[in-house]
């Protein structure tokens, strides 16, 4: 595999071929149907080929293209099963790996960023990458003091590639819409583009990771590896062993799924409260289930390892109290109060008139997991929600089109929805209400926002 394709024309040609390929396969499928082949067989074949082309292209290009693929991958649970099947394997590939940089390019990058004597910093360095992501790849190594470390090296030209990809992808965002029913892809692409500069800055990432590592040091539930060294486009952190969440999704026992899901929900809510930062890239490749000395249980001893703090939302006072208040009022059935709060926060624009009761009917199914003591997240439940909101004939669809998502809530919304997507992939039974009562300001009447759940 060659270096990250940097020439804008090269990347644009590859991305521009995607909608042409989609259209061509649709026409071919029509021809085959006329020729007598069963429509279901043709549809499955077209979906398989589309998935292979889309995610192969996104993975090869890395950059913003792969970043979009990773963002979409956590929503595959929302797809109808007859469509989800062909996509699932291709999506999962993006969560853990991408085509690697050539070894010579890695060495050259390290020499440029750490100095010509960079090898003296390591007792060992594995040339084969342990993982690859949208803007860099990770190598396992041993630091000069004997610690096992992960060395993240940014792809040369990653910044230009990110901006170029996301601009190009935005031009045919509508074609990607069917991948995630009920979700508008274009704002997602715009929001990803806004985060590019932060994710390229490894010093910012090092600060965010260090803040989490300090706060969660010795925590019985969550582990964040310490930062060992950081420089321009190179980040060295302690190595973290564990079972990737993608493997738990694929092959994990129900105990593993439930524990991983509980801890993922706990980290989502507690992280913002404890650090003032929201980890904003919750795809399965960024989490590990650490079973340690008790791989067969008890699950209460298993911890969640958290990686990749390149994208965070800065929330100095934790999650906005308005979120918890709106959820509590909705669960209490106070339609007028919910409507007023949503209007005050900008979710309902001044010129829009909505029936408070209809707003309540729209919200209640979505927050069902917070209504009960424990909730089992399933693909079927998520598909039902996506279908309800995506069907132009449904009242939910009509109401959703009149709601607004204020910029201040955009990243919080995406992180929450992505986390729910992962919980549904896990099929985890989670005591979500416990975590919300413990960590979400405004969710309980006494506004309790500190402490941990049992």
Please give the Cα distance from 39 to 45 (Å, whole number): 10
Could you give the angle at the alpha carbon of 395 between the alpha carbons of 390 and 396, nearest 5°? 50
Catalytic residue among 165, 281, 308, 313: 281
Asked if the bond preceding 62 is cis, omega within 30° of 0, the reply is no
Per-residue HEC secondary structure of the chain comes to CCCCCCCHHHHHHHHHHHHHHHHHHHHHHHHHHHCCCCHHHHHHHHHHHHHHHHHHHHHHHCHHHHHHHHHHHCCHHHCCHHHHHHHHHHHHHHHHCCCCCCHHHHHHHHHHHHCCCHHHHEEEECCCCCEECCCEEEEEEEECCCCEEEEEEECCCHHHHHHHHHHHHHHCHHHHHHHCCCCCHHHHHHHHHHCHHHHHCHHHHHHHHHHHHHHCCCCCCEECCCEEEEECCEEEEECCCCEEHHHHHHHCCHHHHHHHHHHHHHHHHHHHHHHCEEECCCCHHHEEEECCCCCCCCHHHCEEEECCCCCEEECCCCCCHHHHHHHHHHHCCCHHHHHHHHHHHCCCCCCCCCCHHHHHHHHHHHCHHHCCCCEECCHHHHHHHHHHHHCCCCHHHHHHCCCCCCHHHHHHHHHHHHHHHHHHHHCCEECHHHHHHHHCCCCCCCCCCCCCCC
- Asked whether the beta carbons of 260 and 426 are under 8 A apart, the reply is yes
281 in catalytic set = yes
CA dihedral 46, 48, 50, 54 (to 10 degrees): 180
Please enumerate in sequence order all residues whose Cβ is within 8 A of that of 171, keeping only pairs 6 or more positions apart, or say none: none
Please give the Cα distance from 163 to 63 (Å, whole number): 8
Please give the Cα distance from 303 to 243 (Å, whole number): 11
Please enumerate in sequence order all residues whose Cβ is within 8 A of that of 227, keeping only pairs 6 or more positions apart, or say none: 206, 209, 210, 213, 235, 236, 237
Cite the active site residues. 281
């Amino acid at each position: 595999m060659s270096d990250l394709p940097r020439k804008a024309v090269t990347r644009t040609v590859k991305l521009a071929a995607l909608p042409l390929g989609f259209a061509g396969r649709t026409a071919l499928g029509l021809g085959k149907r006329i020729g007598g082949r069963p429509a279901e067989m043709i549809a499955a074949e077209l979906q398989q080929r589309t998935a292979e082309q889309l995610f192969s292209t996104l993975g090869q290009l890395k950059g913003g293209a792969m970043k979009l693929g990773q963002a979409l991958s956590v929503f595959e649970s929302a797809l109808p099963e007859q469509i989800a099947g062909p996509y699932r394997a291709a999506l999962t590939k993006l969560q853990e790996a991408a085509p690697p940089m050539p070894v010579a390019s890695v060495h050259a990058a390290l020499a440029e960023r750490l100095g010509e004597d960079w090898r003296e910093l390591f007792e060992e360095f594995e040339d084969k990458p342990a993982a690859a992501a949208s803007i860099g790849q990770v190598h396992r190594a041993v630091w000069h003091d004997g610690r096992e470390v992960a060395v993240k090296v940014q792809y040369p030209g990653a910044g230009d590639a990110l901006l170029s990809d996301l601009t190009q992808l935005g031009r045919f965002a509508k074609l990607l819409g069917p991948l995630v029913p009920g979700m508008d892809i274009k704002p997602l692409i715009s929001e990803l583009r806004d985060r590019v500069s932060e994710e390229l800055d490894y010093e910012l990432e090092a600060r965010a990771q260090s803040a989490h590592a300090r706060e969660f040091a010795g925590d019985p539930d969550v582990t964040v590896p310490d930062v060992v060294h950081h420089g321009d486009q190179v980040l060295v952190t302690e190595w973290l062993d564990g079972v990737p969440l993608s493997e738990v999704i694929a092959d994990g026992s129900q105990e593993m799924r439930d524990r991983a899901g509980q801890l993922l929900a706990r980290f989502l809510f507690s992280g913002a409260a404890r650090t003032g930062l929201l980890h904003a890239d919750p795809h399965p490749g960024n989490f590990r289930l650490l079973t340690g000395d008790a791989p067969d249980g008890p699950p209460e001893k298993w911890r969640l390892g958290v990686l990749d703090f390149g994208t965070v939302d800065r929330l100095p006072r934790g999650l906005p109290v308005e979120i918890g208040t709106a959820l509590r009022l909705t669960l209490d059935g106070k339609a007028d109060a919910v409507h007023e709060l949503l209007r005050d926060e900008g979710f309902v624009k001044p010129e829009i008139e909505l029936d408070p009761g209809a707003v309540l009917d729209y919200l209640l199914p979505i927050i069902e997991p917070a209504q009960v003591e424990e909730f089992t997240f399933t693909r079927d439940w998520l598909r039902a929600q996506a279908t309800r909101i995506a069907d132009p004939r449904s009242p939910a669809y009509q109401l959703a089109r009149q709601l607004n998502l204020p910029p201040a809530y955009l990243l919080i919304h995406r992180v929450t929805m992505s986390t729910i997507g992962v919980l549904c992939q896990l099929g985890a039974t989670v005591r979500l209400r416990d975590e919300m009562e413990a960590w979400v300001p405004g969710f309980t009447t006494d506004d309790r926002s500190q402490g941990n759940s049992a």
